[in-house]
Amino acid sequence: MTPLILAAAILCQERQVPYEEGRAIEVHPAVATAERHATCVVTFPEESIEAMVAAWNEADLSVEQRKNLLFLKLLRPASGDLHVLGGDGVLYRLSIAPGTDTSVRIVRASPRAGEAPPSLEFVRALRLGRLPPDARARRGGDAVLFRIGAAEVRCRFVVENARYTGYVLELRNPGEAPHRIDPSKLRGPGLVLVAAREHIVPPKSSTLLYLVFASAP
């Protein structure tokens, strides 16, 4: 089969899946065997992928990333989740199980010209220190919520409206070495967007993290 015919065959089998905040995207690759090297290509609606988090055994799933593409090879008939953080800060949860998918394209509704998706507008307001439309805010307190290595994370503000709940978190690095933040490790039910003011926190410094959750219907 020539490369052109192969590309056409893959495109014909492409399945488009709309992205919905807070919902898993089902991906069903075929199980690869010694005779059949099945691979499923997942295309994301962003220019790049920031990070991935998976609790998979390497003997069950092989994952390769190139720009905004993921190449998934299911090595055994297993199932599980794969969390992918896009370059725009959108968090995608892939629910992976055996099937017949060879190509899955995730599509987001196109906003009107000059208009960003609502979740991006929400987190943009948080980063600018503004209150999103129809939202209310309350202080979080000074208690340490959790630690990432030596770094301490506290909740400074909680911002809510009818659609989203946003958390403004302060990450302090009290150590003597820089601390690198991996936003994809911050997970939870309904989490749709993660952003960080800086990804490298110098010693004895702090930065802000922004988490946006979809409100329960």
Spell out the domains of the chain, with CATH numbers in brackets.
Answer: 3-107 (2.60.40), 118-214 (2.60.40)
Residue 190: per-residue pLDDT: 80
pLDDT in tens, 8-24: 444 447 899 998 877 88
pLDDT in tens, 141-167: 788 888 877 888 899 899 988 888 989
* Cα(31)–Cα(29) distance, integer angstroms: 6
Three-state DSSP at 204 gives coil
123: its two tokens: 């987190």
Q: Over the chain, what is the mean pLDDT?
A: 82
* Cα(146)–Cα(101) distance, integer angstroms: 39
- Residues lower than pLDDT 50 in the chain: 1-12, 113-114
Residue 117: per-residue pLDDT: 63
List of residues 6+ apart from 66 with CB closer than 8 A: none
First to last CA, the chain: 49
Residue pair 192/22 in contact (Cβ under 8 Å)? The answer is yes
68: its two tokens: 């905004």
pLDDT in tens, 37-56: 889 999 999 888 877 776 68
What is the residue-wise DSSP string for 160-189? Answer: E-SSEEEEEEEEEE-SSS-EE--GGG---T
52 closest CA partner among 87, 99, 12: 87
